[in-house]
Amino acid sequence: MKFIHIADVHFDAPFTAMQTRNLANQRRLEQRESFKKVIEYIKRENIPYLFICGDLYEQEYIKNSTIEYINKLFEEISNTKIFIIPGNHDPYIKNSYYKTYNFAKNVKIFTENPEKIELDNVDIYGYGFEDFYMQSEIIDNIKIENKEKINILLTHGDLDGAKNNSIRYNPVSKSKLKALEFDYVALGHIHKKIIEENIVYPGSLISHGFDELGEHGMIEGQIDEKTKELSLKFIPIDEKEFIEENIDISQIYSKEELIEKINEIYFPENKYIKIVLTGNKKADIETFDILKYLSNTNIIKVKNMSKLEINLEIIARQNNLKGIFVKKLLEKIENEPENKQKIEKAMEIGLSAFN
Ligand SMILES: [Mn+2]
């Protein structure tokens, strides 16, 4: 049997990181495009099963029209059985579309009560979120009933506390899962692709920002009906990729020179870029508003991680407003070392105002 496994599409997410360049809408279009590519692949390859393991959309932002769009695509693959797990962003709550919307006949939506769907040669077990949090270990109530068949488990949750706060997001222990002896465990929640033998996070279908670097896509799996042997393939879907580019600015002497230098760098068009400034920075180079001067609009963030190269001690001894300002902030850095970066940014903005 063949299947496609996706998770964490997050339809209608606000993509706040993209708003610096007004690209949030663009990203939502790319999100629809990517989902459509999954459906087209399933249609072309005649894949009988689609597993969507949580966070298909964002409860807070999802529009009726987007649900219509998703469902139309589901209807286009009417020969494919679609299994949906509600996640912590799209829980099966009272006013959820999962409850109120009339989805296509080939769609099965799971709830918090584990269910087993019996098909010809495979049993599919699943459970998901009925609220924005789920703490109980529902996994303890699951047991394979027919070991002769192919058994697949679908859920959305945190494997061995991969994330902080994992206790609130359906914690599942790997050892418990292994002991259950499913042939495949399809998970969602962690946005990074993780393949631990037959326990799999496909990662988010598309990247949601600079904390999700690298390729994003779906898992195509096949389980041999006789030997139960599993083979997996990752298929990239997201045509854009988030990347970080470090620039050492120690040898740059003005803001203009820095802008020119960044504008000379070639980036392929399918990248969203974060520029990270490193090294030592001359005191009068302002970096906080540099983004608006950069010609490549796919650069959506400039982060200054460089050290201020300036003798602040000398300025702090000056008996004027600037001296008092620097002295105060230097004291603040000493008292709150955890806020050093923020305070240095304030120092930079303040000094540029004085200049
Ligand atoms: Mn998610």
Question: What percent of the chain clears pLDDT 70, i.e. is strictly above it?
Answer: 98
**The total number of structural domains that make up the chain:** 2
- Calculate how far, in angstroms, residue 212's C-alpha sits from the geometric centre of ligand 1: 12
- Calculate how far, in angstroms, residue 303's C-alpha sits from the geometric centre of ligand 1: 25
Give the whole-angstrom CA distance, residue 9 versus residue 17: 16
CB of 188 within 8 A of CB of 5? no
The pair of structure tokens assigned to 47 is: 């894949």
DSSP lists the bridge partners of residue 304 as 277
The answer to whether residues 120 and 261 belong to one domain is no
- Calculate how far, in angstroms, residue 310's C-alpha sits from the geometric centre of ligand 1: 43
- Calculate how far, in angstroms, residue 316's C-alpha sits from the geometric centre of ligand 1: 48
Q: What DSSP line would sit under 146-210, residue for residue?
A: -TTSEEEEEEE-EETT-STTGGGB-EE-HHHHHHHT-SEEEEES-SS-EEETTEEE---SS--ST
Residue ending a domain, choose from 220, 236, 252: 236
Give the whole-angstrom CA distance, residue 118 versus residue 66: 30
- The CATH code of the domain that includes 102 is 3.60.21.10
Please give the pLDDT value at position 164: 62
Please give the pLDDT value at position 139: 85
Query: What is the average pLDDT across 291-315?
Result: 88
- Calculate how far, in angstroms, residue 206's C-alpha sits from the geometric centre of ligand 1: 11
The answer to whether residues 264 and 140 belong to one domain is no
Please give the pLDDT value at position 247: 96
Helices (H), the chain: 24-45, 64-76, 97-100, 174-180, 255-264, 312-316, 321-335, 340-354
- Calculate how far, in angstroms, residue 188's C-alpha sits from the geometric centre of ligand 1: 7
- Calculate how far, in angstroms, residue 344's C-alpha sits from the geometric centre of ligand 1: 34
The position carrying tokens 């010609």 is 295
The answer to whether residues 175 and 275 belong to one domain is no
The answer to whether residues 136 and 194 belong to one domain is yes
List pLDDT tens digits, range 122-168.
999 999 999 998 887 888 889 999 999 999 999 999 988 766 666 78
Residue ending a domain, choose from 177, 204, 236: 236
CB of 206 within 8 A of CB of 237? yes
The answer to whether residues 249 and 228 belong to one domain is no
What is residue 3's three-state secondary structure? strand
Question: What percent of the chain clears pLDDT 90, i.e. is strictly above it?
Answer: 77
The answer to whether residues 113 and 10 belong to one domain is yes
The answer to whether residues 217 and 267 belong to one domain is no
Give the whole-angstrom CA distance, residue 202 versus residue 185: 11
Residue 263 to residues 20, 54, 87, 293, 296: CA-CA distances in angstroms?
18, 40, 42, 9, 7
Residue ending a domain, choose from 183, 202, 236: 236
- Calculate how far, in angstroms, residue 211's C-alpha sits from the geometric centre of ligand 1: 13
Q: What is the mean pLDDT of the chain?
A: 93
Give the whole-angstrom CA distance, residue 279 versus residue 258: 13
Burial of residue 317 (number of CB atoms within 10 Å: 0-12, 13-18, 19+): exposed
Domain that holds residue 255: 241-354
List pLDDT tens digits, range 7-33.
999 999 999 989 889 999 999 999 999
The confidence band for 314, taking pLDDT boundaries of 50, 70 and 90, is confident
- Calculate how far, in angstroms, residue 268's C-alpha sits from the geometric centre of ligand 1: 28
Residue 149 to residues 111, 145, 182, 200: CA-CA distances in angstroms?
23, 9, 10, 20
- Calculate how far, in angstroms, residue 5's C-alpha sits from the geometric centre of ligand 1: 14
- Calculate how far, in angstroms, residue 340's C-alpha sits from the geometric centre of ligand 1: 31
* Listed residue (174, 167, 182, 204) closest to 7, CA to CA: 204
The confidence band for 268, taking pLDDT boundaries of 50, 70 and 90, is very high
- Calculate how far, in angstroms, residue 91's C-alpha sits from the geometric centre of ligand 1: 11
- Calculate how far, in angstroms, residue 150's C-alpha sits from the geometric centre of ligand 1: 27
> 88-115 burial string, b = 16+ CB within 10 Å, else e?
bbbbbeeebbbeeeebeeebbbbbbebe
Please give the pLDDT value at position 140: 87
Give the whole-angstrom CA distance, residue 87 versus residue 169: 9
